[in-house]
Structure 1
């Protein structure tokens, strides 16, 4: 699990909730003037996750306004890039950054920089539901910074291209924090930096200006995301993946070879991992194994069974029954009688 700190305004007295929230936001992002019509009894909830020197903070809060003025910039600049991904359930956010103004709605992204004045306001009487990210500028090359600088304050789609991949990655990080270990932080951070760099380059159609290694990683991340979204399609093969990304099968092979795996093995692993998850899901216990295999991209139940057995050392049905018994044992264990000393109420 990545280091995590939780802040809920419900945990403090109503008359100091907004002051506590304001101090936390200034400490998390950068010095700003923060105001809200709900300041007398403000509601907000956030978690702060740490990836080395990068901070991620999923947040839900009442309508409020965040202004970083030229005066505050002159007083001090932490030199941070701030990214916001607007999530379902959120009202629109009015964003001013320099001479750019837009309204960010659900599934939009935008990037700000602490060295420039900005003004972000949640629409009145609406909630803001989003993921915020703070990245020190020292993490980016000068080439990447030039690309990012040209899209500051823009509204960016989080449903296509690198915007979709970045949105998916951020959502995964904050919703599946327990799945990661502290030792994963360097790799997770590098993926995030590559995605932000790739997003800026793609928005400007300037990917050719990036270094070869960054371009390779960006292409690999896009392809991996494509496989993640299409593993259930029986027609998904290394050849069709290559064609969908306008590269040759040989180029696809080289991309995956650099990651120590083949494209075919990655597709197979994705399908098997999803099948294993479904087999262990109590809600799908009555779903036939053949149906699960089909939903994971297999056209032959026999082929699925052989592949699953080779990967996990037991047949799908055997694995499902083992998981089912373990889940039942866990439930029964939670219903076990208390120690004898605590069972005086039980009649002889």
Structure 2
């Protein structure tokens, strides 16, 4: 498992806000207040991924303020990125004010003052998000350029922002299954995605290292494939066209980074989704050929051959075995 979990329920109700203020105040704020201070509820998972720290958190509305004096005194050369998942926050930072809602991202320089507060004064309920702390020196972008995006809303619903958001929320969901030796690699992925998002926002993608650009491109391609597995017309040529690269370039990216061909990735994704549906008791009434068509196999015979090659059983045999074992477990 990766990460340490902190929860205010570990202490008495009257002490919970002080507990949270001490925990968060070490790095995040010099002043905190909340209309729910009498029985404050919050939790955080602190995940150290090499030089990158990711911390999914959930808390009742509160105001966080970093004074100029405290920011200068505690400056440790870090940027802080936040992905907001629930709630609405208003941020004052670097002379500007912006409001953020679900799926928005924003970047803060920890050496500069800021004021973060609920947009409605705390009436909307719990706030949930994912924070990311990382050293400034690891970004391949000059600080004076990044100043243009500090405190501004960054899109998290599409493109690289959506990739980053999906990866961050996935880390929390899979934290129990991840191992400590996975941490540095996962931190490198986070940093690549953050760098790509900021570079695209600043129109400075040429500043990214070639390896970072390849990794981000691979993740963009993989996301496109996952979203389009249902389309029987999905093919390497379609994937290349959607990303404005040549077919040979696409194959080189997969050969260097993924250790499998594009066609194999498409076939594997379709078969995994079909297998999942065949194992689902709620879908036991769906015909096998219907499930095959749902995941991009227009011909039942072709699906059956591919499935048997991958899993050693026909789709029908696999379904009977999986559902039979599940029924025995339920007895």
State the TM-score, normalized to the length of structure 1: 0.88
Query: In 1, distance between residues paired with 2:50 and 2:77?
Result: 16
Match of 1:219 in 2: 217
User: Structure 2: which 5+ residue stretches go unaligned?
Assistant: none
Match of 1:322 in 2: 321
Instruction: Note closer, same or farther for the CA distance 1:115–1:270 as it changes in structure 2 (3 Å cut).
Output: same
Matched, 1:167 2:165: yes
User: Structure 1: which 5+ residue stretches go unaligned?
Assistant: 333-348
Matched, 1:39 2:37: yes
Deviation at 1:101, TM superposition (A): 1.4
Equivalent residues in 2 for 1:87-102, closer than 5 Å: 87=85, 90-102=86-98
Deviation at 1:144, TM superposition (A): 6.6
Match of 1:118 in 2: 114
Query: In 1, distance between residues paired with 2:313 and 2:177?
Result: 24
Question: 1:112-151 deviations in whole A, cap 9, x for unaligned?
Answer: 121111111123222212122222334x144376654432
Equivalent residues in 2 for 1:58-207, closer than 5 Å: 58-87=56-85, 90-123=86-119, 124=121, 125-126=123-124, 127-138=126-137, 140-143=138-141, 148-207=146-205
Query: In 1, distance between residues paired with 2:131 and 2:156?
Result: 14
State the TM-score, normalized to the length of structure 2: 0.92
Match of 1:336 in 2: none
Matched, 1:228 2:226: yes
Question: 1:52-100 deviations in whole A, cap 9, x for unaligned?
Answer: 343222222111111111111222212222111111xx22100111122
Whether the 8 Å CA contact 1:144–1:197 is kept in 2: the answer is: no
Secondary structure at 1:258 match in 2: helix
Whether the 8 Å CA contact 1:147–1:200 is kept in 2: the answer is: no
Query: In 2, distance between residues paired with 1:269 and 1:147?
Result: 42
Query: In 2, distance between residues paired with 1:119 and 1:147?
Result: 22
Query: In 2, distance between residues paired with 1:144 and 1:179?
Result: 36
Whether the 8 Å CA contact 1:73–1:115 is kept in 2: the answer is: yes
Secondary structure at 1:143 match in 2: coil
Deviation at 1:30, TM superposition (A): 3.4
Deviates more, 1:239-248 or 1:202-211: 202-211
Aligned match for 1:244, one of 239, 242, 245: 242
Query: In 1, distance between residues paired with 2:143 and 2:222?
Result: 25
Whether the 8 Å CA contact 2:105–2:154 is kept in 1: the answer is: yes
Query: In 2, distance between residues paired with 1:212 and 1:294?
Result: 39
Query: In 1, distance between residues paired with 2:328 and 2:46?
Result: 36
